[in-house]
Amino acid sequence: MAQINNEHHRWRLPAEWEAQDFVQLTWPHRGTDWLPTIGEITATYVQMAVEIAHRERLLIVAPDPEEALAAIRREAGEAIMRNIFTLACPTDDTWARDHAFISLTDGSRRRLLDFRFNGWGDKFEAAKDNAINRNLYAAGLIEGAYEDHTDFVLEGGAIESDGRGTVFTTSGCLLAPHRNQPMTRQGIEDYLKKALRAERIVWIDHGQLTGDDTDGHIDTLVRTAPGDTLLYVGCDDPEDEQYGELQAMEQQLRTLVTADGRPYRLLRLPMPRPIVRDGERLPATYANFLVVNGAVLCPTYAQPDLDEEAASIIGTAFPGRDIVCIDCRSVIVQHGSLHCCTMQYPKIQSGQLA
């Protein structure tokens, strides 16, 4: 593990709704599992790119960034294009949430934590994606101090921060095989508290979406919002195979309290009706939204009643922000959604893309 200095109390993992410097997208290409649906997924990524770059800077990582830029330019003006920066880099896939840096800030500086990404427990090839952070840092595109945690497996989708020292995660993911064995739950918690400079780790012990490759990432289940708010996916159908786990998760959430002992404000998101492809149910979830400067990008699944309900609830959690709906049916075919595709980097006083 990287050496951590005595500035523990100064550094923190910011909440997603705090001011951002830029967002990273790792672009889909024909050398990935996206090949059969490359047109559809590229169109979705273009929409994400335009919405992000309209509000803040956007970093695109791709083997051929010019291909991505050409696709965006067909839909965007030059003001958008000026907000986009690129890194040419080999990639295995597109899930920036899980292979990108996890950033800490002290308000004026940034620390870039590079954890090991191993394809969600050696399920998929990940060597190229695992090297993106080192390539990005070597290129000088991000200001911040590099911190090497590549002896520990952690994906960004596995943690959620309130920005005030509480980090949420799931036991299903962090205790899953082929990640950090033989470490115990307590050992993993101790590591996370030190690495993330967290005061406490809150473990969610229930909740698993059918078809999820991540073993239960927190960003598919429970998300933080201002005012000690937790948004979470619920399920009312006893015939749904996810019903028992999500009911147990909801019961656990009702028992949780903040660091100062108060109950959380709980906002329940609907569960999308099953989306099935080739006989397999896909892990669609409205919890996989992305907060950017001035807006929240919300996944939708061509289920107008539920899409509208979810967007309204998310808007309640983030008042004053634009609510931008993005059809994520093209993303869910590879078992992820909007948040999984993205990684935000916190704003710092001197931070900029070179």
The structure's pTM equals 0.94
Gap between the Cα atoms of 332 and 338, Å rounded = 9
What pLDDT, in 10s, does the model give residues 294-333?
999 999 999 999 999 999 999 999 999 999 999 999 999 9
What pLDDT, in 10s, does the model give residues 265-293?
999 999 999 999 999 999 999 999 999 99
- The residue behind tokens 């309130």 is 162
What pLDDT, in 10s, does the model give residues 174-224?
999 999 999 999 999 999 999 999 999 999 999 989 999 999 999 999 999
Q: Which residues does 27 contact at the CB level (< 8 Å), separation at least 6?
A: 45, 60, 61, 62, 65, 67, 68, 91, 94
User: For residues 111 and 345, is the Cβ–Cβ distance under 8 A?
Assistant: no
- Collapse the DSSP code of 212 into the 3-class scheme (helix H, G, I; strand E, B; otherwise coil) and give the result: coil
What pLDDT, in 10s, does the model give residues 72-84?
999 999 999 999 9
Q: For residue 350, name the pLDDT band (cuts at 50, 70, 90).
A: low
User: For residues 341 and 59, is the Cβ–Cβ distance under 8 A?
Assistant: no
The pLDDT of residue 353: 38
How far is C-alpha 172 from the chain's CA centre? 17
Mean pLDDT of 106-111: 93
